Structure formats: C-alpha cells, structure tokens
C-alpha cells in the first residue's frame, strides 16, 4: 500500500504530466557547451566555492543554510534583479564577457533561449536518473532539451487568483469568480461599489502572465517537430485571450501598471486593486509586498484561477530552475547545491521559512514541508497549498517554450507599453509573432507558421 506521501506524489504526477519536449538538437541551433563536470573538492582540502546569482524569494536563506551544513562546497551568492527586470540581461552580458557565475536561476520559459545561445552547459553527466525521478515530470521535460539535461528544476508554478475578501463582500460578491465571464461581472460590481476599485491589473511590462493565460486557454505558441519550429503565437486560442483582456482594458475595468512597481504596490495597499492573477509563488510575493500594511493581513484569500468553461484549467506562470553556466568548471559542486536546495526538506524549509516564498516545490514529496513552513496568517489561515496542489493537477499539457523568448517578450511588451497611447494587445501579439519568426530564421532555424 502506498503511503499518503507516495500517493500524493503519484496523483500529482499522473494528473499533471506534460508531454515531453521532444526537441532535436537542430531545433536549438547553437546548443551550449557540454562543459566540465570536474568539481571535486580542492586537493588542498579547502571547500570548492561556487558563485551563484538569483532573485527568487528566500534564496539567501537557502544559501546560508547550505553553507552552514556543508564543508566540501560553499556558495557565494549575489542577489540580482528578476529576469524581466534585468536579471537575464545581466546574465547574458556576463556570459558573453566570460565572467558569468557558476550557477544561476533561470525560468523554464527562458531556458531554451539560454541553451540556444550557448550560455549554459549540458549537465546530463552529473544528473542521475534517480535525481530526475524526484521531480514532477513536466519540470523534468521543460529542462530536457534535445535529450540532454540543461537545468535542475526548483518549482512548478500553477496559476491562482488572489483576492481581497472584504472588498469583494463590500461589492456583494460572495464567492470568487469561477469563469472569465464571472471575473468581468465581478470587475463591474467592484467598480460600481467603489469607482476607485479595480479587480486586477494588466501588466504591460511582463508578457509572462499573458503567456500563462494563453497556455490556460489551450494555445501552443511553439511546437518543435523534427527540425522545424511551428510558431503560432497569434492563434485563435490566443485571440480569445487577447479580445477578452482588450475589452477589460478599454472599459477601464483593470489597471495598467508595471509588475511589482510602486504604483502597483500602492494600489494594493490602498485597496484600489482587489485581485491579483498570479501563481503559487505569488502568495509569498504578495504577503511580503504588503508586509508594511498590517491592515491587509487576514483579508486576502486564494482561489483557483477563473477558466473559460468553469472546469479547472491552468498554465504555468514562471517557475524556475538552476542552470550551470557554460564556462563553469565546477558543475558537480553546482549541481550538488542545486540538488540540496530542491530535494531536501532542509533546503525547502529554509526558503519557505523566510516568510517571503510560497513556491510549489518541483519535488512533490516536499509539498508538505512547504505547507508546514509557510505561515498563512496573511491569508486568514487558509490552506493555500491545497489550492496550489489542485491547480497543479489542471496544468494543460504539451506546452513548449520557444528558443527566442527574449525577442518574443520584448516584441510584445514594446506594444503593451503603448496601450494607453493607441496600441492594442492584438498588435502586440502580431508583433511578437513576426519578431519571433524573423529571429528564428536569423538564427538559421527552420520555421513553419
């Protein structure tokens, strides 16, 4: 008989599995270096020191806990901006200059781009089958490109809807919206109850939320088959999302504010924004963002993200990995740290207990650890990990990320940033389609559309 712990893992794996990204090497063009796995402790007995760049909440606490409990490997950590806020540019610049850290965090969406550019190394030889078996299959698949392992999964990121219970009740709304139609209806009710209140935000600087919503709607922006990429960013499924959000923006039912900006934070603090479409990790981000607003504590709740037909469905919004840079000579030590950080209760405990992270571990055996470590007073004691676990079971299958997401995202957000000046979401989607196809062709990749 399976233990509850084993049953939980099996259930998640069976219901949330995604189809493997069966990419051929030619689909990734200039695949990265196979690197070196020579990372044994120094012959003089001193610990091997690796350098590590990341932005994820709770990372410093993880590094401190690792360094305190390990003698052979030590980690020198540097906090960098998040990927969309400049972290990826910093990593890319350092890689080109030959001074990248040994290890850095990169989201699943950006990993193929870093692989394609040769910025990370193939760590297949230092990642065992037993280690890969610990992680959710979809996490392993999103880190396996051209049959090689390019990163260690940290977390999964099923979508969720965070909302202010008191503001919803004030507007006469007794339950969170289950469908996108209800979300719009609730947006109208919230604005009617208080003209300064909006249900949420459209983030012009961060297309990742729009991508996750398109994923949830059944879109497949990229499909790699044999030696050809099919690029379908402007699909009918995406257009459904585009039209819906364009109307919310045009009708002034959501705010246009940069992600995690001062304006966004102030809007949440004042109760002018009553909801946030995020992912599992967003629980900790929202809590830490409003840490200076004690009046917010106990008023927020988490619900499944609305869907088009009311049946559970989710994409992934973010989700991070540990990747070893192309020039690192300490891959084994880097993987040792990444393994400890992602598969041990001590590693997860250190991150979650920081109070700033509510990530959903890629190793499902550690979900109980994460749940026990995260204090839910901000959410009135709600079992938020139960919501995340259910959402993880509804992640739609077969999503692939493209090898030029930097171009895709930049093309899109350039026009997202002009939504107040005549730009449209559909124009942004078309620009992303055209810009991405042009970039792939420029890299010598075969493209179908």
Q: What is the pTM of this model?
A: 0.87
Q: What is the pLDDT of residues 220-268, one digit of tens each?
A: 999 988 789 999 999 999 999 999 999 999 999 999 999 989 999 999 9
| Gyration radius of the chain's alpha carbons | 21
**Alpha carbon separation from 387 to 87, 153, 167 (Å, rounded):** 30, 21, 21
> Would you say residue 109 has pLDDT above 60?
yes
For residues 349 and 374, give the distance between their C-alpha atoms in angstroms, rounded to a whole number.
Answer: 9
Find all residues with CB under 8 Å of 258, minimum gap 6, and list them: 203, 204, 205, 206, 264
Structural element, H or E, at residue 74? strand 73-79
pLDDT at 392: 92
Structure tokens at 422: 């005549």
For residues 71 and 48, give the distance between their C-alpha atoms in angstroms, rounded to a whole number.
Answer: 9
Mean pLDDT value across the chain: 90
CATH of region 159-315+404-447, choose from 3.30.1600.10, 3.40.190.10, 3.40.50.1100, 3.40.50.300: 3.40.190.10
Q: List beta partners, residue 395.
A: 314
> Would you say residue 6 has pLDDT above 80?
no
Using DSSP bridges, classify how beta strands 152-153 and 148-149 pair: parallel, antiparallel or unpaired. Answer: unpaired
Distance from the first to the final alpha carbon of the chain: 49
> Would you say residue 422 has pLDDT above 80?
yes
> What confidence category does residue 12 fall into, taking pLDDT thresholds of 50, 70 and 90?
very low
Find all residues with CB under 8 Å of 48, minimum gap 6, and list them: 39, 40, 41, 42, 72, 73, 74, 330, 333
* CB-CB contact of 122 with 34 (8 Å): yes
pLDDT at 17: 34
Using DSSP bridges, classify how beta strands 228-231 and 222-225 pair: parallel, antiparallel or unpaired. Answer: antiparallel
For residues 327 and 322, give the distance between their C-alpha atoms in angstroms, rounded to a whole number.
Answer: 15
pLDDT at 24: 61
Among residues 52, 30, 32, 45, which one has the least CA distance to residue 330?
52
> What confidence category does residue 26 fall into, taking pLDDT thresholds of 50, 70 and 90?
low
**Alpha carbon separation from 356 to 60, 154, 165, 289, 375 (Å, rounded):** 11, 16, 21, 9, 10
* CB-CB contact of 129 with 338 (8 Å): no
> What confidence category does residue 3 fall into, taking pLDDT thresholds of 50, 70 and 90?
very low
More confident residue, 212 or 12: 212
Is 159-315+404-447 the same fold as 48-157+317-381? yes
Q: Which residues of 382-409 are buried (b: 16+ CB within 10 A; e: fewer)?
A: bebbebbbebbebbbeebbbbbbbbbbb
CATH class of 48-157+317-381: alpha beta
> Would you say residue 37 has pLDDT above 50?
no
pLDDT at 197: 98
> What confidence category does residue 85 fall into, taking pLDDT thresholds of 50, 70 and 90?
confident
Among residues 320, 270, 318, 304, which one has the least CA distance to residue 290?
270
Q: What is the pLDDT of residues 433-444, one digit of tens each?
A: 999 999 999 988
The torsion region of residue 62 among left (phi > 0), alpha (psi -120 to 50) and beta comes to alpha
% of the chain with per-residue pLDDT over 90: 78
Find all residues with CB under 8 Å of 175, minimum gap 6, and list them: none
User: Strands (DSSP E) along 281-351, which ranges?
Assistant: 300-303, 320-324
Domain ranges of the chain: 48-157+317-381, 159-315+404-447
Structure tokens at 120: 């990370």
Mean pLDDT (whole number) for 60-73: 97
């Amino acid at each position: 008989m399976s233990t509850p712990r084993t049953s939980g893992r099996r259930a998640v794996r069976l219901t949330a599995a995604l189809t493997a990204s069966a990419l051929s090497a030619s689909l990734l063009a200039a695949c990265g270096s196979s690197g070196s796995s020579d990372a044994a402790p120094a012959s003089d007995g001193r610990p091997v020191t690796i350098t590590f760049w990341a932005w994820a909440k709770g990372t410093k606490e993880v590094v401190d806990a690792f360094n305190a409990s390990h003698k052979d490997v030590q980690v020198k950590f540097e906090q960098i901006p998040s990927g969309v806020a400049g972290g990826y540019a910093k990593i890319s610049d350092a890689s080109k200059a030959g001074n990248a850290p040994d290890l850095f965090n990169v989201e699943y969406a950006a990993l193929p781009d870093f692989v394609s550019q040769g910025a990370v190394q193939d760590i297949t030889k230092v990642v065992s089958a037993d280690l890969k078996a610990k992680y959710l299959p979809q996490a392993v698949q999103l880190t396996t490109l051209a049959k090689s392992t390019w990163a260690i999964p940290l977390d999964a990121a099923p979508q969720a809807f965070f909302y202010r219970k008191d503001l919803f009740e004030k507007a006469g709304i007794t339950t969170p919206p289950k469908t996108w139609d209800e979300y719009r209806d609730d947006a109208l009710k919230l604005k009617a109850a208080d003209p300064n209140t909006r249900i949420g935000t459209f983030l012009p600087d961060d297309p990742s939320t729009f991508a996750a919503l398109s994923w949830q709607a059944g879109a497949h922006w990229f499909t790699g088959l044999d030696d050809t990429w099919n690029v379908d960013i402007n699909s009918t499924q995406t257009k459904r999302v585009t039209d819906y959000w364009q109307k919310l923006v045009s009708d002034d039912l959501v705010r246009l504010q940069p992600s995690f900006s001062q304006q966004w934070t102030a809007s949440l603090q004042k109760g002018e924004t009553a909801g946030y479409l995020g992912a599992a990790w967003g629980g900790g981000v929202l809590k830490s963002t409003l840490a200076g607003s004690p009046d917010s504590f106990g008023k927020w709740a988490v619900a499944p993200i609305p869907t088009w037909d009311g049946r559970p469905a989710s994409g992934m919004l973010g989700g991070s990995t540990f990747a070893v840079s192309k020039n690192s000579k300490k891959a084994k030590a880097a993987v040792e740290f990444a393994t400890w950080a992602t598969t041990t209760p001590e590693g997860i405990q250190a991150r979650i207990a920081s109070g700033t992270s509510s990530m959903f571990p890629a190793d499902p055996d550690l979900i109980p650890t994460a749940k026990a470590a995260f204090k839910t007073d901000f959410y009135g004691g709600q079992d938020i990990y139960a919501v995340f676990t259910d959402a993880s079971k509804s992640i739609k299958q077969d999503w692939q990320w493209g090898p030029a997401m930097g171009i895709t995202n930049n093309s899109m957000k350039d026009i997202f940033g002009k939504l107040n000046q005549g730009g449209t979401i559909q124009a942004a989607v078309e620009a992303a389609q055209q810009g991405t196809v042009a970039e792939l062709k420029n890299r010598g990749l075969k493209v179908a559309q």
